C-alpha cells in the first residue's frame, strides 16, 4: 500500500505568481539534482493551486515560477509554510489559531476590530485600533491585500497553503509592510472535476462544515465554489443575561471563474462573502490592583458604595455579569480580477480588487455589571480599491520583477457612548454632592462621527544578479506616496437631549464635560518615502543556502482618528493629530540546510530591527474623555534568533520543532502613558519613562512542535493507514498592557493537541481530536478597566475541546 503522503514535493506553474512565488525571483537557483522533469519549462497557467502536504513537517516545496525547479529552501527569506491539511488537522481555522504553529506570530483580539497581528513583536500598536495608521503585517489572499485586520478573525476558506514571511516586505509586494506578511493561497479552479467535503462536531456545541467543488464549464472555462460554516457555544457565561458569550458563528462563501482563452492567458474572477454574528465580546474579573487614586475612588470602595459584587473572583469559573448589549456583527467581502499573460520572456500580472468591511459592534466598556456605561458602539464601514500591475522576467544571469501598486480606502465610523444611572457615583468624586445625583450623568451621550480617506501609490522592483553559479545579489527599491485625510467630530448631549458645549460653566455641565468633551478637527498627512534592500545569497553546497539581508524601509505616517488630547484652552492639540512615519532599519542573516538525503531540514535566522519614531498606542484613564490615541515613541528594537527543524526518516513518521527567542523592547520612550499603579493621583506623573522595557504581547521564548506516526491498515474493506498526531506549543510570559504593569503580566503556558484517525489514498479521512488536551488554564489578554480604579479583567483561553471530523475528496 502506498502511504497517503508519499511526497511533499509540489509544483507551481510559472504564472501562478502568488506573492510568495515572486519571492522566488530573488532566490539562488536550486540544485538540479533529483529534480527530473521538474526542471523543464511548464505551462504558464495553473488549473490548481499549490498542493502542500508537508508544511511544518518539512519536505521539498518545488516552485517553477522561474521555469526551473526551486524549493522554498532556496528562497533567501525566513518563511514558514503551513499546508491546508495541517491547518485542518490542528484546528487552526483562523489567524488567531495559526500562532500555535508559527512561534514568531502574535495575534491579540478583544473583538474583531480591536485585533492586532504582529511578527517578531512588531506590526501594530497594542490596544484600541486606530484606523489612521497602517498595519505592519500584511494579509494577502490570492494576491489581494486586506487592509483591515478584522479579516484575520474569519475562518480560512478552501485554503491550499499559508506562508508566514518574517521581516520587511516591500520591494516585491504591493503594500509595504515592515514586520512581514501572511500570504494565503486558496485552491484554484480546475479543468478536471473534483470536490471535497468536511464535517466536524465537538463539545460546546461545536459544528463546522466545509465543502468545495471544481470543474470545467467548457473547454476554456472552469469554476470553483467553496463554502464554510462554523458555530460554537460561548466559553463565558453571563449571569445577567443568562446566556453564553464569546461564541462563534461564521459563514463564508467563495466563487471563482477561470477563463483560459489561449495557452498563455489566464483570467480569474473571484468573489467572496463572509459573515460573523457572534455573541461577543466580553471579559471576566481577574484582580484589583492599587492605583494612586484616593481610596474612595478605587474599585473596592466604588463597588461597595453601590453594593456591587462580581459573580466570581476566579477567572476560570468563566462567569461574567456584563449588563450592556454585546454584539460583534462583522461582514467582509469583495470581488477580484486577476489577469496573467505570458508576454515574451516574462509574465505580466494584473490584480484588480474591491473589498468592503461592515462592522456592527456593541460593547460594555465599564467591564462591570453596573449600569455605568450602558452603550458603547462604533459601527464602521470600509470600501477598499486596489490595483497591482507587475512584470517578471527570468533569465540565465538576471531575473527581475517590476511593478506598480495603487490603493484607495474610505472608512466611515459612527460612534455612540452613553452613561447610565450608576455612572455618577462611580465616575464623579464621592466628596462632590453631584455624585449622589444619578441624573447628572444618566443618559449623557457622546455622538462620534469620523471618516478616513487613505491613498497609497507605489513603484517597486527587484533585480536578481547571478554573479556565479553559487553567488547571487539582489537589490530592491520602492518609491511610495501616502496621503491620509480624516475628520473627527464628537457632540455631547445630556440625558434630556440638551447639548453640552465647552462654553457651559455651571457645576453640572463641568462634571459632564469631565466625562465627554466636544471636539472637532480634520487631520491630514502626506509624504513620499524611498526604501531599498539588498540581499546576498551563497549556495555553500547543493543543500546549504546562506543569505544576508539589509533593508531600509518605513511604515507610513498616519492620523489620529479617535480624538486627540485637549490643550489648556480646551481645544484639540492639532500637533497630536498626525503621526510621523516609522523609520526602519533591518538586518538579517540566515542558513537553510537539508540533510539525510533531504529527509530533514534545519533553518536558522538571526535578525535585528531598529525602528525610529515607533507608532505606539497611548490610552487615557478616563471613561470618555479620550478612548486612546497614537504617539511616536523614540526608538524600538526587536532582535532574536529563530530555528525551524523538521525530519521525515520514512513515510511512517514525521516531526517538527520550531523555536524563537525574541528580545523586543522600547529603547527610548520617555513620555509613555504610566501603568495603572502609577496613575490616577493628583501627584501622579503625567507620563513615564519606560525605556528598556519589553514591548507588549511579546514572549521572549516561543516554540511549536509536533509529530505524526502512521501504519498501514484496513477499515470497512478500505485500504489506508491509521495515524496518531500531536501538536504542541509553548510561550513564555508577556505583558498585556502598552506600558508594562505589575498587574498585567500573563504567565507563560503550554498547549497540547492530539488527533488519531484513519485515511485512504482516495481522500477519506476520519479522525478524533482533542485540543488543549490537558485543560490548561491560561489568559489570552488582560484589560485595565477605565478610570484608573484598579480593576483588571481578562479573557481566558479556550478550555479543553474535543470532537471528530470526517473528510472526503472525490
Provide the grid cell at 330.
462583522
pLDDT in tens, 583-604: 999 999 999 999 999 899 999 9
Kindly state which CATH superfamily the domain 14-538+545-809 is placed in. TonB-dependent receptor, beta-barrel domain (2.40.170.20)
Concatenated DSSP letters for 515-571? T---EEE--EEEEEEEEEEEEEEEEEETTEEEEEEEEEEEE--EE--S---B-TTSS
Give the whole-angstrom CA distance, residue 388 versus residue 174.
6
325 vs 379: CA distance, rounded Å: 14
Give the count of alpha carbons within 13 A of 280, CB side only: 26
Q: 406-438, pLDDT tens digit by residue?
A: 999 999 999 999 999 999 999 999 999 999 999
**432 to 297, 373, 437, 438, 529: CA distances (angstroms):** 12, 20, 10, 12, 53
What is the pLDDT, as a whole number, of residue 132?
86
Q: Cα separation of 575 and 525, whole Å?
A: 12
Tell me the range of 8-17, 18-27, 127-136 where mean pLDDT is highest: 127-136
Residue 40: predicted pLDDT: 33
**19-45 exposure pattern, b = at least 16 Cβ within 10 A, e = fewer:** bbbbbbbbbbbbbeeebeebbeebebb
Q: Is the pLDDT of residue 51 over 50?
A: no
- The rounded mean pLDDT for the chain is 88
Residue with cell 511616536: 632
pLDDT at 770: 97
pLDDT value for 42:
34
The pLDDT of 271-290, averaged and rounded, is 95
Contact 513, 506 (CB under 8 A): no
- Residue 552 in contact with residue 535, Cβ under 8 Å? no
188-213 average pLDDT score: 97
CA distance 806 to 198: 6
96-110, 228-242, 497-511: lowest mean pLDDT where?
96-110
Question: Any bridge partners for residue 551, and if so which?
Answer: 533, 586
145 vs 653: CA distance, rounded Å: 37
Measured at the CA of 142, the angle between CA 95 and CA 473, to 5 degrees, comes to: 95
What pLDDT is stored for residue 402 in this prediction? 94
For the chain, the first-to-last Cα distance in angstroms comes to 20
The rounded distance, in Å, linking the Cα atoms of 41 and 47 is 16
pLDDT band at 16 (very low <50, low <70, confident <90, very high): very low
* pLDDT for the residue numbered 631: 86
> Which has more confidence, 765 or 58?
765
What is the predicted pLDDT for the residue at 661?
98
- Sign of the CA dihedral running 210, 213, 214, 218: negative
Distance CA 72, CA 64 (A): 11
SS3 of 736-795: the string is CCCCCCCCCEECCEEEEEEEEEEECCCCCEEEEEEECCCCCCCEEEEEECHHHCCEEEEE
Question: Is residue 3 very low, low, confident or very high in pLDDT (cuts 50, 70, 90)?
Answer: very low
With cut-offs at 50, 70 and 90, classify the pLDDT of residue 29: very low
* Nearest of 563, 693, 569 to residue 628 by alpha carbon: 563
Whether the CB-CB separation of 725 and 708 falls below 8 Å is answered with: yes
Burial tier of 11 (Cβ tally within 10 Å: 0-12, 13-18, 19+): middle
H-type alpha helices, 175-235: none
Those residues whose C-beta lies under 8 Å from the C-beta of residue 691, and which sit 6 or more positions away, are 634, 666, 667, 668, 669, 670
Confidence band of 624 (pLDDT split at 50, 70, 90): very low
Residue % of the chain over a pLDDT of 90? 71
CA distance 243 to 120: 38
Per-residue pLDDT at 21: 31
Mean predicted confidence (pLDDT) in 292-304:
96
Question: Average of pLDDT values for 321-347?
Answer: 93
Q: What is the mean pLDDT of residues 188-208?
A: 97
Instruction: Return d(Cα 32, Cα 71) in angstroms, integer.
Output: 11
The cell numbers describing 348, all together, are 505580466
Show contacts of 309-318: CB within 8 Å, 24+ apart.
310/285, 310/368, 310/369, 311/239, 311/369, 312/284, 312/285, 313/285, 315/284, 315/285, 315/286, 315/779, 315/794, 315/796, 316/777, 316/796, 317/284, 318/235, 318/236, 318/237, 318/284, 318/796, 318/799
- Cα 759 from Cα 723, distance rounded (Å): 8
CA gap 778, 798 in Å, rounded: 8
Read off the pLDDT of each residue in 139-161 and give the average, rounded to a whole number: 87
The span from the CA of 265 to the CA of 217, in Å, is 17
- Mean pLDDT over 200-205 rounds to 98
Question: How would you write 458-507 as a 3-class SS string?
Answer: EEEEEEEEECCCCEEEEEEEEEEEEEEEEEEEEEEECCCCCECCCCCCCH
Would you place residue 576 in the very low, low, confident or very high pLDDT band (cuts 50, 70, 90)?
Answer: confident
Structure confidence at residue 122 as a pLDDT band (50, 70, 90): very high
Indicate the domain borders of the chain. Answer: 14-538+545-809
How is 646-697 classified by DSSP, letter by letter?
Answer: EEEEETTEEEEEEEEEEEEEEEE-TTBPPPGGG-SSTTS-SSB--TTPBPTT
- The pLDDT value recorded for residue 129 is 74
Q: What is the CA radius of gyration of the chain?
A: 27
Angle made by CA atoms 337, 342, 348, in degrees to the nearest 5: 50
Higher pLDDT, 37 or 150: 150
Q: Is the pLDDT of residue 189 over 70?
A: yes
Q: What's residue 57's pLDDT?
A: 52
Asked if 236 contacts 243 with a C-beta cutoff of 8 angstroms, the reply is no
pLDDT digits (tens, 9 = 90+) for 793-806: 999 999 999 999 99
Query: For residue 85, what is the enclosing H or E element?
Result: helix 84-89
Report how far apart, in Å, the C-alpha atoms of 143 and of each of 8, 9, 212, 339, 382 are.
24, 23, 21, 11, 19
* Beta partners for residue 791, in sequence order: 288
> How big is the chain, counted in residues?
810
Give residue 724's pLDDT band: very low, low, confident or very high (50, 70, 90).
very high
Alpha carbons 363 and 252: distance in angstroms, whole number? 25
Which strands form 779-784's sheet, in the order they lie side by side? 284-288, 791-796, 779-784
pLDDT digits (tens, 9 = 90+) for 725-752: 999 999 999 999 989 999 999 999 999 9
- Summarised one tens digit per residue, pLDDT across range 679-713 is 988 888 988 999 999 999 999 999 999 999 999 99
In the predicted model, is pLDDT for residue 10 greater than 80?
no
Which triple of cell numbers denotes residue 618? 497611548
Structure confidence at residue 31 (pLDDT): 33
pLDDT of residue 626: 44
Share in percent of the chain as helix, strand, coil (round to 5): 10, 55, 40
Q: Of the given ranges (10-19, 74-83, 549-558), which has the lowest mean pLDDT?
A: 10-19
CA–CA distance, 382 with 263 (Å, rounded to integer): 38
pLDDT tens digits for range 510-556: 999 999 999 999 999 999 999 999 999 999 999 999 999 999 999 99
The predicted model gives 154-177 an average pLDDT of: 87
Q: Pick the closest to residue 723 from 654, 770, 774, 773 (CA basis).
A: 654
What share of the chain in percent tops pLDDT 70?
Answer: 90
Amino acid at each position: 500500500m502506498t502511504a497517503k503522503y508519499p511526497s511533499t514535493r509540489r509544483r507551481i506553474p510559472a504564472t501562478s505568481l502568488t506573492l510568495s512565488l515572486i519571492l522566488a525571483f530573488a532566490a539562488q537557483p536550486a540544485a538540479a539534482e533529483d529534480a527530473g522533469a521538474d526542471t523543464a519549462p511548464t505551462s504558464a497557467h495553473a488549473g490548481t493551486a499549490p498542493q502542500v502536504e508537508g508544511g511544518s513537517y518539512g519536505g521539498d516545496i518545488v516552485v517553477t515560477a522561474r521555469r526551473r525547479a526551486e524549493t522554498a529552501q532556496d528562497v533567501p527569506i525566513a518563511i514558514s509554510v503551513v499546508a491546508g491539511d495541517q491547518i485542518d488537522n490542528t484546528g487552526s481555522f483562523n489567524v488567531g489559531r495559526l500562532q500555535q504553529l508559527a512561534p514568531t506570530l502574535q495575534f491579540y483580539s478583544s473583538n474583531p476590530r480591536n485585533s492586532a497581528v504582529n511578527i517578531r513583536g512588531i506590526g501594530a500598536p497594542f490596544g484600541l485600533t486606530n484606523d489612521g495608521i497602517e498595519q505592519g503585517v500584511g494579509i494577502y489572499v490570492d494576491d489581494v491585500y486586506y487592509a483591515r485586520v478584522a479579516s484575520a478573525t474569519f475562518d480560512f476558506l478552501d485554503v491550499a497553503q499559508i506562508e508566514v514571511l518574517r521581516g520587511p516586505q516591500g520591494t516585491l509586494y504591493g503594500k509595504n509592510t515592515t514586520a512581514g506578511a501572511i500570504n494565503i493561497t486558496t485552491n484554484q479552479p480546475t479543468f478536471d472535476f473534483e470536490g471535497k467535503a468536511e464535517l466536524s462536531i465537538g463539545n460546546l456545541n461545536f459544528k463546522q462544515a466545509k465543502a468545495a467543488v471544481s470543474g470545467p464549464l467548457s473547454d476554456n472555462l472552469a469554476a470553483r465554489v467553496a463554502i464554510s460554516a462554523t458555530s460554537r457555544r460561548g466559553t463565558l457565561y453571563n449571569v445577567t443575561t443568562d446566556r453564553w458569550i464569546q461564541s462563534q458563528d461564521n459563514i463564508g462563501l467563495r466563487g471563482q471563474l477561470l477563463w483560459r482563452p489561449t495557452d498563455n492567458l489566464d483570467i480569474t474572477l473571484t468573489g467572496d462573502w463572509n459573515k460573523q454574528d457572534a455573541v461577543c465580546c466580553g471579559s471576566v474579573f481577574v484582580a484589583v490592583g492599587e492605583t494612586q487614586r484616593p481610596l474612595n475612588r478605587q474599585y473596592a470602595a466604588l463597588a461597595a458604595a453601590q453594593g456591587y459584587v462580581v459573580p466570581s473572583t476566579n477567572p476560570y469559573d468563566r462567569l461574567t455579569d456584563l449588563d450592556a448589549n454585546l454584539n460583534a456583527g462583522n461582514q467582509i467581502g469583495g470581488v477580484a480580477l486577476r489577469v496573467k499573460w505570458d508576454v515574451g520572456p516574462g509574465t505580466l500580472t494584473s490584480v484588480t480588487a474591491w473589498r468592503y468591511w461592515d462592522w456592527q459592534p456593541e460593547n460594555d466598556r465599564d467591564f462591570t455589571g453596573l449600569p455605568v456605561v450602558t452603550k458603547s458602539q462604533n459601527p464602521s464601514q470600509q470600501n477598499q480599491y486596489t490595483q497591482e500591475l507587475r512584470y517578471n522576467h527570468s533569465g540565465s544571469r538576471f531575473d527581475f520583477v517590476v511593478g506598480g501598486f495603487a490603493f484607495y480606502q474610505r472608512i466611515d465610523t459612527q460612534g455612540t457612548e452613553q452613561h447610565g444611572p450608576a455612572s455618577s457615583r462611580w465616575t464623579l468624586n464621592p466628596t462632590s454632592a453631584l455624585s449622589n445625583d444619578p441624573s447628572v450623568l444618566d443618559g449623557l451621550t457622546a455622538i462620534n462621527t469620523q471618516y478616513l480617506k487613505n491613498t497609497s501609490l507605489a513603484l517597486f522592483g527587484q533585480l536578481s544578479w547571478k554573479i556565479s553559479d553559487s553567488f547571487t545579489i539582489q537589490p530592491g527599491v520602492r518609491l511610495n506616496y501616502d496621503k491620509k485625510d480624516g475628520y473627527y467630530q464628537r457632540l455631547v448631549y445630556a440625558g434630556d437631549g440638551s447639548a453640552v458645549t465647552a462654553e457651559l460653566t455651571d457645576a453640572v455641565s463641568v462634571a459632564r464635560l469631565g466625562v465627554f468633551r466636544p471636539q472637532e478637527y480634520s487631520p491630514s498627512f502626506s509624504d513620499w518615502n524611498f526604501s531599498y534592500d539588498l540581499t546576498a545569497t551563497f549556495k555553500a553546497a547543493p543543500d546549504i543556502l546562506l543569505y544576508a539581508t539589509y533593508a531600509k524601509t518605513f511604515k507610513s505616517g498616519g492620523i489620529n482618528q479617535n480624538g486627540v488630547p485637549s490643550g489648556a484652552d480646551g481645544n484639540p492639540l492639532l500637533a497630536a493629530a498626525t503621526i510621523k512615519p516609522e523609520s526602519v532599519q533591518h538586518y538579517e542573516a540566515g542558513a537553510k540546510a537539508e540533510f539525510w538525503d533531504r529527509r530533514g531540514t534545519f533553518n536558522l535566522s538571526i535578525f535585528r530591527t531598529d525602528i525610529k519614531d515607533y507608532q505606539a498606542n497611548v490610552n487615557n484613564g478616563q471613561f470618555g474623555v479620550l478612548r486612546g490615541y497614537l504617539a511616536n515613541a523614540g526608538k524600538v528594537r526587536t532582535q532574536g534568533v529563530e530555528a525551524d527543524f523538521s525530519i521525515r526518516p520514512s513515510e511512517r513518521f514525521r516531526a517538527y520543532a520550531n523555536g524563537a527567542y525574541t528580545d523586543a523592547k522600547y529603547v527610548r520612550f520617555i513620555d509613555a502613558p504610566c501603568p495603572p499603579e502609577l496613575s490616577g493621583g493628583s501627584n501622579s506623573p503625567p507620563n513615564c519613562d519606560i525605556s528598556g522595557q519589553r514591548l507588549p504581547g511579546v514572549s521572549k521564548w516561543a516554540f511549536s512542535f509536533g509529530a505524526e506516526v502512521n501504519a498501514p491498515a484496513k477499515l470497512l474493506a478500505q485500504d489506508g493507514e491509521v495515524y496518531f498526531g500531536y501538536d504542541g506549543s509553548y510561550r513564555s510570559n508577556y505583558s498585556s498592557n502598552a506600558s508594562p504593569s505589575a498587574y498585567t503580566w500573563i504567565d507563560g503556558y503550554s498547549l497540547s493537541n492530539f488527533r488519531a484517525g484513519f485515511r485512504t489514498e482516495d481522500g477519506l479521512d476520519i479522525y478524533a481530536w482533542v485540543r488543549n488536551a490537558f485543560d490548561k488554564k491560561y489568559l489570552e489578554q488582560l484589560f485595565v478597566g477605565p478610570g484608573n480604579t484598579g480593576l483588571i479583567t481578562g479573557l481566558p483561553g479556550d478550555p479543553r475541546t474535543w470532537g471528530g471530523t470526517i473528510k472526503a475528496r472525490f
